[in-house]
Amino acid sequence: MNRRDLLILSGVAAVRPRTVLAQQSEKTYRLGFLGFGARDTSTIEGLGAGLGRRGYSVGNNLLIEARYAEGRLDRLPGLVKELIDIPVDVIAVTGYPAARAAKDGTTTVPIVLVAAGDPVELGLAASYSHPGGNITGISDMPTELISKRLGLIMTAVPGLKRVAVLYNASDAAMIARYQAVGAAASTRHISVQALGLREANDFASAFAAMSGERPDGLLMVTDILTMLNRKRVFEFAATNTIPAIYEFEVLAREGGLMSYGAERSELVDRAVELIDRILRGAKPAELPIEQPVHFRFIVNLKTAKALGLEMPATLLGMADDVID
């Protein structure tokens, strides 16, 4: 896969304001994008479309330079340097490893976080209101939403006493989410079965642990490692009739029982607003880190039926979408 990927998105900015930036200035803006995972066209298209609505013309006065580490930490420093050397005006990042690499790689190029965990807890920013340095962005509130997810799986499984947590033990952001599960579970007198993973081969031992000591429910913390192995998790949960809740909507749509998380389109669009303000002269240190206000709860009723699980009417009534 070509990691140097100049994306010129034709048609993304089809709807433009009457006066576009290209008519105001001859400057061509360059937006860098750094992702820790594999190629993410949906986020790139979202960034391009959002900037198009704000008067930029992708391929004319705006170019998007995208780089993907494909899950390899060792590639991140080099990719950051590539973006800096272009040079780009702003770097948008997804995922904590990419955010950390960008922060470590430059103190001058503005960085906009697009869902990279809790930036304050992870040491990326001084505070939400005054991030300082060259970083701003929007958090996906990962640890704050853990309590809500735990409450949802408890509602789906009355009497739940043990919840298993699959998480990447090599990623500080994922460890923070696991720890948040432990804190939320302790207040509800629920035990946590910690299943830390570092590579794909670890899933077999995690599955064996759950087979030997069966949990009442499962919560999967999502990063590139668990995302790439999601179908194995779906199959294990189905075979062993273990109800599971996930963070991203796509996981419930692909076969997971439930998902609850921030609405992805809002995260991208609000990151776009921050990028636009920076390109117009704002300093990232003076732009507070934002938090989402829209969340989506998805229930896959087909999966529930396969598990022999009758979803409570109250839970279905809370869902933004029920997949039959």
Over the chain, what is the mean pLDDT? 91
Q: Is pLDDT at 20 greater than 90 in this prediction? A: no
What is the secondary structure of 87-114 as a DSSP string?
Answer: T-SEEEEESHHHHHHHHHH-SSS-EEEE
What would the mean pLDDT of 76-82 be, rounded to a whole number?
Answer: 98
How far are the Cα atoms of 39, 141, 235, 236, 277 from residue 191, in angstroms, in the given order?
37, 23, 24, 21, 46
Q: CB of 30 within 8 A of CB of 86?
A: yes
How far are the Cα atoms of 69, 77, 225, 298 from residue 262, in angstroms, in the given order?
24, 29, 20, 12
- The pLDDT of residue 25 is 54
* All domains of the chain in start order, with CATH: 5-139+263-286 (3.40.50.2300), 146-262+295-323 (3.40.50.2300)
pLDDT band at 103 (very low <50, low <70, confident <90, very high): very high
Q: What is the pLDDT of residues 275-315, one digit of tens each?
A: 999 999 999 999 999 999 999 999 999 999 999 999 999 99
